[in-house]
Amino acid sequence: MNFQDKVAIVTGASSGIGRATAELLAAKGASVVLAARRADDLADLVAVIEKAGGKASAIQTDVSRADDVERMVAHSIEVYGRLDIAVNNAGTEGVLQPITEIADKDWDQAINTNLRGCFLCIKHEARAMLAAGNGGSIVNVGSVNSFLGFPGGTSYVASKHGQIGLTTSASAELAPQGIRVNIVCPGIIKTPMHARGRAALGDDVYDNMLASQVHLQRAGEPGELARTIAFLCSDDASYITGATLTPDGGYTLTM
């Protein structure tokens, strides 16, 4: 996978899968626009990438805000002159509550970040790619909960299910113009979000779930997801669009 002379945007780049993906794309030659809400963490990642010999620029972004997303894409064009790759990874687990108890604002927060945010990113990223006329690759980051529900996860699950429909529709529209759109739906990965899940469930319950429901009997590493995403971004995946890849260690096969 060679991304020399390519420009990529990675949202949710401040930690977890987004950070690992940004570091990998930069290591493979891409100039990377790092987007997230936590400006200090983005500045730290820019320093890490530049120290390793890569190119990166940060822009504080809330993907649920249309003006932020538009500014993020404009930043890519202003700094690097183009946009070839977009990884729409920003997301939140929201507030986990019974459907009869969840507040409207908590529903809106999950939907606005995970689904509206993904829509806004595709909209503005695709505009830039279409204007340049060079095609491109967009990878959305969903979850195994893009097809599996769980008690208390109404807003999160609904937002993640919606991302699959968004991905397949965007692919149908954009692929004839050379822009591939795919989605990766990871399982249990060692990220801050899943650390919060472990804390909520307790170590015994969490470890038993890994042993009994994940074929590989372990959580995945962010770097493993980064390599899957980078593959979809690359020319090696030139005939893959509208696809759902599920790097979950076999978790969904036990459901």
Q: pLDDT tens digits, residue range 52-76?
A: 999 999 999 999 999 999 999 999 9
36 pLDDT tier (thresholds 50, 70, 90): very high
Q: What is the pLDDT of residue 16?
A: 96
3-state SS record for 144-185: HHHCCCCCCEHHHHHHHHHHHHHHHHHHHHHHHHCEEEEEEC
CATH code of the domain containing 46:
3.40.50.720
Tell me what the mean pLDDT of segment 205-227 comes to. 89
Residue 206 counted as domain residue? no
Which one from 156, 206, 239, 251 is the annotated catalytic residue? 156
Regarding pTM above 0.85, the answer is yes
Give the residue-averaged pLDDT of 217-242.
Answer: 97
Examine residue 207 and state whether it is found in any structural domain, yes or no.
no
Distances (CA, A) of 223 to 128, 154, 179, 189, 254: 28, 29, 25, 10, 24
Q: Is the pLDDT score of 205 beyond 80? A: no
Q: Over 80: is that where the pLDDT of 254 sits?
A: no
Residue 75 maps to a domain: yes
Q: Is residue 210 part of a domain?
A: no
What is the rounded CA–CA span in Å between residue 141 and residue 163? 8
Range of the domain at 78: 7-189+221-254
Is 215 inside any structural domain? Answer: no
In a domain, 214, yes or no: no
Rounded Cα distance between 255 and 250, Å, is 10
Specify whether 80 is catalytic.
Answer: no
Residue range 39-46: mean pLDDT, rounded: 97
Average pLDDT over the chain, rounded to an integer? 94
62: in domain:
yes
Evaluate whether residue 69 is within a structural domain.
yes
Residue 255's pLDDT band (cuts 50, 70, 90): low
Number of domains forming the structure of the chain: 1
Question: For residue 31, what are the β-bridge partners?
Answer: 7, 55
